[in-house]
Structure 1
């Protein structure tokens, strides 16, 4: 607790005094909790509390109001002292604290009593409804929370499964700290090789498991406590054949992940049946029989008997969940798409990351350069990658972060790939070119025309000081990159002009760079990535030119000013901090602000 003279401590004392004064006016005199009573709420930083006794159906029940030293900024909590065993009623945590409102709910910091009164009113209503049995359905609605509370074991289970019917055999890999459940060995190996490339292939050995799809979400009374309960759960859902098959394999651990459709979507959990340990050379599963001649019904009865089972929560890591929590309708299309990113520098690297996180299933990264220390401050790669080729280093980084994404790389210039007979870019769904290299992009433009503009290409670049960023989408035969550039690759439209050369130089041959930092650059890379997504999803017209303008004050502070061309086509955007669209070309006008 802060010193009593501290302003925040005085604020707390004033809030407490205001609440108690209001209770006094209402002739309510709850008793302050002593330190022993407050200790019942360990981990909640309870600084002070009061106890009420109130009439409920069936008799008196005590409620505690507890507050932390951050009260009234942090709302009070209400706890039910006289309560049934844990998980009998929903919304009652193990220490009796009631979950009355979502964590994001706020209360007035100026009227602390009003917040406490609202919580008490909700608590009375909730406890009354629980006594009447009106809240039991919430156990199913919020299944994942209650299953987590009922966990038995510390295994971290990650699921790559498609969370839906039918019940089926699955594959399980057990690492030191994680257990991965997958649809197939191939899916499992690919994910692990991306997530943990240092794990030797010889260590990636999987076991069989059984994914059981339930016809309804279980309540706490139905959570399996024994191996026999696991079998009964499968039996009620017509899946005992899967468990019988696993029993014949005599696995050390029989994993039974199960799923059901809750109100807000699929919910997954896992039960684990552990094979009985051999004691003094005696194997309980085969006792009384030769190991090779134990009847199947005996093995099943012994494995799925009364021994306690483990219960574990499941973290979904399948693409539909990672990319949008099952709610992003774009994900199926993006998952089937292949995008080539030409240039893995300070623009290309964050664009590649953004596309992978948006749900693109396959990336092809192309860059011949290595990462230098001067690039680290505005690049997603760090000092550990200095002097490494950018393309493979970025590929490793993305695969480690999102192991379900396929990432290929070429340590090569874009021209090299375009001139190869096998045409490695011909079958991609989109190309994002952020090389800032006119020779490469002029050749790419001609290659694109020869391809009949079959796939869209998004070109992106940044002006000095990130005063402006550009994204151009080309996908139709009548459009071309050359339409907006001169023979030297200089755009006809430049957003900012500079009184002095804005480039900076290093003490080395040909070492010049455009000055800008990662914060300013972020607006540009987001715009380029959005244009790429729109092109993949058919939401951007060919020949569209999107321009990000930085704040005018920032441009002027860096020694620049908006060009006459920009003033002519976008007079309403000159304060900056905005994106507008135009048709790509020498004299094209603005389309939308």
Structure 2
């Protein structure tokens, strides 16, 4: 970062630019006007746009050149109301998106010149009208400046259908809008609403088809009723407008209207309009009301907005996934699935959380002595909206046998029980079932030497039994041919006696295996993996070898070879999946 003298030197270098004239440093009294922007040093210069003389200010804060300069138009309305200029404020020009921006801090003068060039392009586009569509793209920002400072949380399904919706009040303010009460409950996963409304009203949702051709509202220049009528009339096709007319036949003394405004660059902004003292009809048609109406800010909480915004996939939301085994690997799998967008999870595990697994389980010590499945359900309900979770505190084979869990109810089954005997049994059971879904098996090896994930598609070659089937002549006992540990070794460790037996591995090993399992699961659900791969990752062997254990020949494979041979485990003589 530069001291003030260094900032002044860099800023004054702009005097060499032909576009600027009479470059001078701002005095301390002038800098005080920009204190709200944390500006520590700034220049002012004269220039012209479209033959009109204007002034520009270029200022930097104490972090420069690790931060962008701020550029201001003086006076703020010198070019009228144009996009990306805070005309009703200090004339700040928004010329760059800072997300992911890389600055060459070794070249502060270059940063200033590039920033000035971008700001000039923004101003030129505003004068020519070239960037006029940006008004609508940035409508949310303009609306925020003029709206009532009590935002409304929206759970509406944002589509193209005008309709009556439900609005909820807390005290004097509207706080929620939704199509149904159940939409709000879905957000809270059936838990109690955090801010229970005190009154329920009807409101109108009007989704515009085209963007408004009027400037956004400003302080002292809000949209009038006549402007709003024009926006609705010109932004809707005949059929949709006819439906709005039908919905507006009835009116109340107070009407809340939610407009869905399409952005030219994509997406939809919701804005609220509160009409008070309504009489003589609905104000969207010919009725009268306080003019202008009160602008209300709308915050979107609908699944179609939140999920893609957080990196999830909306096309996974209706998928149903069963996770059997909610230990270190399974726990990470469960929470990761919730984040990806899976909307329905069923968890099966008989165990409770114990202190011994605190540092390798995703739940930590907050869940000690609680059933893992119930603690995970609570964790998801507290963290991730729109995910329904059913739980069964019992062994998966018992759940199947009792009919509490039916395989065909799911789109995918993930088995992370850590019990190979049970998983081999379930592998065969599901292969013999009609219409059984894909299965993903996930397991770890001791001391962090690796982990494995296998996708099995009932009815196709490649299953868990393929790994355990005696394949070479003379082989008699079952051993997992994917293992990085040589067969015939026992890895169970106990610190307090036989009742404390466990397999040593760490949280990062569990998380790495879980990530691989979730990635393969999503590929299966989305139809991106039509076969049955065996995926393996390798860790470092030092602790394993130091404990006196031996590695298998498969551990010597490199990452590329493990990938290239991911289907070679499939046994054409497998008694479960081989074609008869």
Return the offset for 1:456. 0.5
- Is this contact kept in 2: 1:143–1:217, CA < 8 A? no
Which residue is equivalent to 1:69?
Answer: 62
Q: Which moved more, 1:36-45 or 1:463-472?
A: 36-45
Deviations 1:112-157 (CA, angstroms, capped at 9, x unpaired): 1122122222333332332233322221233333333x34112333
Correspondence 1:39 to 2:24 = no
Which residue is equivalent to 1:221?
Answer: 215
The structure 2 residue matched to 1:581, chosen from 549, 562, 566, is: 566
Which residue is equivalent to 1:106?
Answer: 102
Which residue is equivalent to 1:311?
Answer: 295
- Is this contact kept in 2: 1:193–1:199, CA < 8 A? no
Which residue is equivalent to 2:47?
Answer: 54
Which residue is equivalent to 2:117?
Answer: 121
Correspondence 1:89 to 2:93 = no
The equivalences for 1:429-444 within 5 A come to 429-444=411-426
Return the offset for 1:353. 2.0
Q: CA RMSD in A?
A: 3.8
The structure 1 residue matched to 2:73, chosen from 49, 74, 80, is: 80
- The structure-2 alpha-carbon separation of the partners of 1:349 and 1:450, relative to structure 1 and needing over 3 Å to count, comes to same
Return the offset for 1:544. 1.6
Return the offset for 1:561. 6.5
Q: SS at the partner of 2:513? A: helix
- Is this contact kept in 2: 1:418–1:447, CA < 8 A? no
Q: Which moved more, 1:336-345 or 1:214-223?
A: 214-223
The structure 2 residue matched to 1:147, chosen from 135, 143, 146, is: 143
Which residue is equivalent to 2:380?
Answer: 398
Deviations 1:43-63 (CA, angstroms, capped at 9, x unpaired): 432111111111222432111
Correspondence 1:526 to 2:530 = no
CA distance in 1: counterparts of 2:21 and 2:545, whole angstroms? 64
Q: TM-score, normalised by structure 2?
A: 0.83
CA distance in 1: counterparts of 2:31 and 2:270, whole angstroms? 34
CA distance in 2: counterparts of 1:158 and 1:25, whole angstroms? 49
- Is this contact kept in 1: 2:229–2:285, CA < 8 A? no
Q: SS at the partner of 2:190? A: helix
Return the offset for 1:508. 5.9
Deviations 1:294-345 (CA, angstroms, capped at 9, x unpaired): x8639999985124433234333333323324998x632x223111011122
Which residue is equivalent to 1:492?
Answer: 481
CA distance in 2: counterparts of 1:479 and 1:264, whole angstroms? 46
Deviations 1:169-189 (CA, angstroms, capped at 9, x unpaired): 222334589933322233233
Deviations 1:181-222 (CA, angstroms, capped at 9, x unpaired): 32223323333453646777xx68643221101132236635
CA distance in 2: counterparts of 1:35 and 1:165, whole angstroms? 54
- The structure-2 alpha-carbon separation of the partners of 1:301 and 1:145, relative to structure 1 and needing over 3 Å to count, comes to closer
Return the offset for 1:242. 6.1
- Is this contact kept in 1: 2:164–2:247, CA < 8 A? no
The structure 2 residue matched to 1:480, chosen from 463, 466, 469, is: 463
Correspondence 1:194 to 2:176 = no
Which residue is equivalent to 1:208?
Answer: 202
- Is this contact kept in 1: 2:352–2:369, CA < 8 A? yes
CA distance in 1: counterparts of 2:274 and 2:341, whole angstroms? 35
Q: TM-score, normalised by structure 1?
A: 0.81
Which residue is equivalent to 1:173?
Answer: 168
Return the offset for 1:545. 0.7
Correspondence 1:241 to 2:236 = no
The structure 2 residue matched to 1:136, chosen from 129, 132, 143, is: 132
Q: Which moved more, 1:352-361 or 1:313-322?
A: 313-322
Which residue is equivalent to 2:15?
Answer: 23
The equivalences for 1:175-574 within 5 A come to 179-192=175-188, 194=190, 196=192, 206-218=200-212, 221=215, 223=217, 225=223, 230=228, 233-236=231-234, 237=236, 238=241, 240-241=244-245, 244=248, 247-248=251-252, 250=253, 254-273=255-274, 275-276=276-277, 297=281, 304-325=288-309, 331-332=314-315, 334-421=316-403, 423-452=405-434, 454-477=436-459, 478-485=461-468, 490-496=479-485, 503-507=492-496, 509-551=498-540, 562-567=551-556, 570-571=557-558
- Is this contact kept in 1: 2:143–2:297, CA < 8 A? yes
- Is this contact kept in 1: 2:457–2:532, CA < 8 A? yes
Deviations 1:533-591 (CA, angstroms, capped at 9, x unpaired): 11112222443211112256787688777422332xx24659x9x99734435799xxx
Return the offset for 1:29. 5.3
- The structure-2 alpha-carbon separation of the partners of 1:413 and 1:447, relative to structure 1 and needing over 3 Å to count, comes to same
Q: Which moved more, 1:107-116 or 1:35-44?
A: 35-44
- Is this contact kept in 1: 2:324–2:396, CA < 8 A? yes
- The structure-2 alpha-carbon separation of the partners of 1:387 and 1:337, relative to structure 1 and needing over 3 Å to count, comes to same
- The structure-2 alpha-carbon separation of the partners of 1:534 and 1:175, relative to structure 1 and needing over 3 Å to count, comes to farther
Gaps of 5+ in 1: 1-7, 277-284, 286-294, 589-593
CA distance in 2: counterparts of 1:268 and 1:112, whole angstroms? 37
Q: SS at the partner of 2:205? A: strand
How many residue pairs get aligned? The number is 551
CA distance in 1: counterparts of 2:298 and 2:37, whole angstroms? 26
- Is this contact kept in 2: 1:163–1:268, CA < 8 A? no
- Is this contact kept in 1: 2:148–2:297, CA < 8 A? no
CA distance in 1: counterparts of 2:38 and 2:487, whole angstroms? 57
Which residue is equivalent to 2:577?
Answer: none
- Is this contact kept in 2: 1:473–1:541, CA < 8 A? no
